[in-house]
Chain A
């Protein structure tokens, strides 16, 4: 005979305001099998949990029903409370009389009757429950980090420092991401490379970081604790082991190409290393520009290489890495200014975007740090900075704010003024978002000390006028139209996810939002986790953010991974499906029904199989199975039918 205890929560007025909780308690007290029933104002509180523990001990309960809020909130709380008192946690069920009752009805009488019915049905469920034990499984304490920008590198370093091996995959031939392209960083105006290179150097030499650059993750299978990643190492056409980094190849290469690292503002060669501090400092051949690949002639690099490291015949190489956790840190791109018609569709050479301006500012950039007009190499005396290009723009498809542009536009304008003392900087803005530490002061300093002119209003048009660029805007605060003949215009274009982020997300079964940013499990409380256990995210790939936030998130993601790796084994909730082999006909409907790839047909026995760890206990296959061979634990057909009867009892 069951000995079930029912505990009804008031939840302040959330439940008690609509449902007569005393009546519910009284009704349940007379249910067969229920030996104890009481109510309390806040069951989830410590006294509330104490009540349950006490009742379990004193009344020798073998099942508990807590009628309260959604199991999403406190199922874990109550299960642990029961376990603490010696009752298996899976003998504790939640009757949701808040989200599914008191919060959605107004009629007190009807709501109370419904609450009784719901609780009654959960009593039926508990009656059929079995004590379950979490499934333990092995965890491979190696991590995969995809993307080696500042956030990815930081994650890798922290996991590696925590004692575990990290495979760090990066698409570019070098690490450092966009931060390597920056000149100085706000609000300190620290030289970006100066603060970045200690990290890149550390990553390069860390004994526990396996660095795979010029590589991409093409396939991932498995589950938390045992992922298998297939990584394609794209050919660099140079044997990096033999290469000494002398760069004679780059010096002598006859083919000039626009430099990708310099965002087209400068030139590079068909064989090149992106910048002097690149880690690894090894060259790669761009197949599309190389003369040899196009015509079969040249091969100058091969001739001049002192260690014969050039390998034109190199093919993509595939490696398999087994890891227990994955962190996505693929970063961002900038919205393409060639899509902005009112500012010239990318046709005016002196209209550039933020990253291009960074390359002009940078001492290692195409102009050695001098601000010069791309069109004629002259020093611009009037620069207009336009904020919110693409951002906060419903029509262009990016209604969000890109967060960093107010700060970096201010930074650009200030650095320009430091370099060109008789230059004038105008910034068109809508609002100034300077919420970080020292940010507002930075902007104010720009206005007070560097003479920046801020004009509130969006620019309608930029068009060429003589040698310059006419900018039509308005200063909304005075209501006057403004016309500026600028020498150069810098667009603060929106931050967008990488163009193939969605594809990667699909491969990993991670969600993305409407714009392609990776979806976190909860925007407030779980910002670095995805809904797939074992896969985490960090940095601008999740949402626009600045460097301090990217670094902080990296630490958070790393700590999640370290927590995952901290025990001997991992635990998986035991509410999964079980197979009754005698009833299985091998029809495969369960395989089709499963969205988690947890079902398959064994090729030898021709019977269905369950992968315990991939199974999320959704029950779809149990519903699909025509023979009833698949059973969801603690949710058998009898239990469910009994629950339905209990719900319909008074109807």
Chain B
């Protein structure tokens, strides 16, 4: 890939920004999408169902990535408003799936491991609030899974309500659902619960790509037998 970098262009005026010259390359590699092919036709934004709720619609996200404007990406509403419907990827003449790019930023944020240091605090309060709720939901979903092995909505929703501080909204709906028997009080159970918990424990190994393929399989099997 060439060393093309819009990041070298001096952006006059506007808010002070954190520029990562390598952002386009990082995102291309992490998402598998050919970010630099974009010629801003905006067919993606035109078809995006969530574009009107985004501060940066999909075409702008791609543009900002090319500029290397990392902090705007990390603090924006748009990546959290993306529903992953893949309409952008279906329509783009250059085959760019913007949802994948959004996922890259979300996973950097949720893992707490940004590929580069970011300067000061990110984003406006409003965006932060919305993002916080979305990020919270992701975390709680995973926590519920880790605990129960399968989805247990009461735990998820309860946890979400408490953690987001948004206790009162949706309560009528929740209560109705409870009484209609749609929200079982107790989770189901089975041997899978232990297995899922074990998977979570092993997660760092996979994400850090420490686990070597086939060679280790026999070792793992031996260890399992010895247990």
Contact = CB atoms under 8 A, between A and B. Distances in A.
Whether the complex brings A and B within 8 Å at their CB atoms is answered: yes
Interface of A: 342, 388, 392-396, 430, 456-461, 472-474, 476, 479, 481-482
B41 interface: yes
Interface of B: 37, 39-47, 51-52, 57, 59-60, 87, 91-95
Contacts of B94: 394-395
A473 B37 contact: no
Contact of A396 (B41, B42, B60, B93): B93
B93 A394 contact: yes
A474 B39 contact: no
A105 to B, nearest CB: 25
Contacts of B52: 481
A35 B33 CA distance: 64
Given A460-B46, A474-B46, A476-B59, A342 B91 contact: yes
B47 A461 contact: yes
B43 A459 contact: yes
Nearest to B37: A394
Contact of A481 (B37, B51, B93, B95): B51
B47 A472 contact: yes
Contact of B39 (A392, A395, A481): A392
A392 B43 CA distance: 13
B93 A457 contact: no
Q: Which of B43, B45, B51, B52 has the most CB of A within 10 A?
A: B43
A457 B42 contact: yes
A393 B46 contact: no
Given A481-B51, A481-B52, A392 B93 contact: yes
A393 B90 CA distance: 13
A458 B43 contact: yes
27 contacts: A392-B93, A394-B93, A394-B94, A394-B95, A395-B92, A395-B93, A395-B94, A396-B93, A430-B41, A456-B42, A457-B45, A457-B46, A458-B41, A458-B43, A458-B46, A458-B93, A460-B46, A460-B91, A461-B46, A473-B46, A474-B42, A474-B46, A474-B59, A476-B42, A479-B57, A481-B45, A482-B46
Given A430-B39, A481-B51, A481-B52, A472 B92 contact: no
Contacts of A342: 47, 91
Contacts of A396: 93
Contacts of A459: 43, 46
B94 to A, nearest CB: 5
A425 B103 CA distance: 39
Contacts of A456: 42
B125 to A, nearest CB: 24
A393 B40 contact: no
A479 B44 CA distance: 12
Nearest to B90: A342
A458 B39 CA distance: 11
Contacts of B47: 342, 460-461, 472
A342 B39 CA distance: 19
B45 A474 contact: yes
Contacts of B41: 388, 430, 457-458, 476
Contacts of A482: 46
Nearest to B44: A460
Contacts of B59: 474, 476
A458 B37 contact: no
Q: Which of A388, A395, A461 has the most CB of B within 10 A?
A: A395
A473 B41 CA distance: 10
Nearest to A457: B42
A479 B52 CA distance: 11
Q: Which of B39, B47, B60, B92 has the most CB of A within 10 A?
A: B47
A457 B47 CA distance: 11
Nearest to B87: A460
Contacts of A476: 40-42, 59
Contacts of B87: 460
The 6 closest A-B pairs by CB, nearest first: A460-B47, A460-B46, A458-B43, A458-B41, A393-B93, A474-B42
Q: Which of B40, B41, B57, B95 has the most CB of A within 10 A?
A: B41
A457 B57 CA distance: 13
A210 B170 CA distance: 84
B93 A472 contact: no
A284 B45 CA distance: 50
A395 B45 contact: no
Contacts of A461: 46-47, 91
A558 B185 CA distance: 87
Contacts of B45: 457, 474, 481
A444 to B, nearest CB: 23
Nearest to A396: B93
A461 B87 CA distance: 11
Contacts of B60: 479
Given A476-B59, A481-B51, A481-B52, A458 B95 contact: no
A428 to B, nearest CB: 9
A393 B93 CA distance: 5
Contacts of A473: 42, 46
A473 B57 CA distance: 13
Given A392-B93, A395-B95, A472 B46 contact: yes
B91 A481 contact: no
Nearest to A456: B42
